[in-house]
Structure 1
Amino acid sequence: MSFEIRRLSPPEFSLLVPQLVEIYIEAMNYNPTTLHSRIAGWRNDLVRAGFGAQIAIHHNEIVGVAYGFLGSPDSWWDAELRRGLRLQGGPTEQQWEILRSYFELAEIHVLPQYQGHGLGRKLLEAVLCNASARYALLSTPEVPNEDNGAFRLYRSTGFFDVLRGHLYPADARPFAILGAVLPL
């Protein structure tokens, strides 16, 4: 299969957000009723410093998306990260170092029928290649023995544990927060 990875400008991202959120909903198996709230949230991220977005295209169809921005203490996710670290006795000195300079990989998703073809890796590498931070951080649902494509991708690109078993208020599943030194 042939795929194209393409950077999106913020205006292009804004226009495509409804379609991109549909990919997120399908890939994460979320309830479609979250569509409108997630569209608003993704569009709000456009103003974050260091915003970058990439899409994967197959036969003129968008089949994957990745985007992120520089981490900041004024974001909801940063507050969640700090809360989780405090609950586990941190932040440690190493965790403080990460908190001072990280790129938040907010979302990376590939439609299920296109997973397993290296698109996640290409999107990950593309969105992080120009990140102006020392670390990249992301969260992913926990799975037994890390036995899924997402964990295999993250481990193979150098991601390490920052926080495990984190519970977000709006999701009953535990999540792992992983970090990597940049550049990958």
Structure 2
Amino acid sequence: MVAPTRKLWFDGDVNISIRRISGPEFSIAAPRLVDIYIAAMGYSPSVRNQRIRAWREDTRLPGFTAIVAATHNDVIGLAYGFLGTRETWWDRQLRKGLQADGHDDEAIRDIAGDYFEIAEIHVRPGLQGAGVGRRLLTDLLWNAPARIALLSTPEIPGEDNNAFGLYRSFGFHDVLRHFHFDGDTRPFAVLGVPLPLEHPSSRRDR
């Protein structure tokens, strides 16, 4: 079963389509998608070529799924992920962090044994906070074949940004906080949510 193309309206007059793309399509679009990532995260353009190569490598991972948001002439957002596997750097970092946080082997298996990794979700600056990220995340996790979804996001004082607001609205809970990935000085939060995803409109305040 294939998720349908979805539509939403931004500022009342710009039609935005949300759709899944294949691995080959993602590889072709990778340079443009990485540019959105760099702009959204405020990274140096020097990382561009390395990220393009890494993202194209990710299309080979099991369960690879990619979603894009686009207007009639431009891509404005993306999300992609895949099934967690012991072969990825992120999985090894996750297990290392859980162990350092005091989780025993059974607890680590419970968290990391069957998950879908949300590798990236980004919306072009200037269009954030308008519901595009919500649609990207909803469609990315639609029918994801795992027990939970996991992601990492930079720590922000008071969780005061669009990313944390989006994740909390979907019911993401803390898995690790103030975790440092190897080679990155910034602290990150690792968050998780049970699957199948409960749509935010159906959630009651807890």
State the TM-score, normalizing by the size of structure 1: 0.96
- Name the one with the larger helix percent: 1
The C-alpha deviation readout for 1:90-147, integer Å capped at 9, x for no partner, is 2464442121110000000001111011011100010110210010000000001111
Deviation at 1:44, TM superposition (A): 0.6
Measure the CA separation in 1 of the matches of 2:157 and 2:104: 26
Measure the CA separation in 1 of the matches of 2:110 and 2:90: 17
Q: 2:5 aligns to what?
A: none
Asked if residue 137 in structure 1 is aligned to residue 140 in structure 2, the reply is: no
RMSD over aligned Cα atoms: 1.1
Q: 1:153 aligns to what?
A: 166
Measure the CA separation in 1 of the matches of 2:119 and 2:192: 13
Measure the CA separation in 2 of the matches of 1:77 and 1:171: 13
- Counterpart pick for 1:32 among 40, 45, 69: 45
Q: 2:204 aligns to what?
A: none
| 3-state SS of paired residue (2:96) | helix
Measure the CA separation in 2 of the matches of 1:145 and 1:91: 29
Measure the CA separation in 1 of the matches of 2:190 and 2:104: 13
| 3-state SS of paired residue (1:113) | coil
State the TM-score, normalizing by the size of structure 2: 0.86
Output the amino acid matched with 1:132. P
The gaps in structure 1 that reach 5 residues or longer are: none
Measure the CA separation in 2 of the matches of 1:13 and 1:91: 38
Q: 2:81 aligns to what?
A: 68
The C-alpha deviation readout for 1:34-81, integer Å capped at 9, x for no partner, is 001111110110110000000001232100000000000110000010
Measure the CA separation in 1 of the matches of 2:176 and 2:109: 13
Asked if residue 116 in structure 1 is aligned to residue 129 in structure 2, the reply is: yes
Output the amino acid matched with 1:161. D
Output the amino acid matched with 2:94. L
Asked if residue 87 in structure 1 is aligned to residue 100 in structure 2, the reply is: yes
| 3-state SS of paired residue (1:47) | coil
2:99–2:108 Cα contact (<8 Å) kept: no
- Counterpart pick for 1:53 among 49, 66, 69: 66
Give the count of matched residue pairs: 184
Instruction: Give the percent of matched residue pairs that are identical in Structure 1 and Structure 2.
Output: 54
Output the amino acid matched with 2:177. R
Asked if residue 173 in structure 1 is aligned to residue 196 in structure 2, the reply is: no
Give 4+ residue runs of structure 1 displaced > 6 Å after superposition: none
Deviation at 1:156, TM superposition (A): 0.5
2:95–2:108 Cα contact (<8 Å) kept: no
Measure the CA separation in 2 of the matches of 1:156 and 1:93: 29
Measure the CA separation in 1 of the matches of 2:168 and 2:105: 22
The gaps in structure 2 that reach 5 residues or longer are: 1-9, 198-206
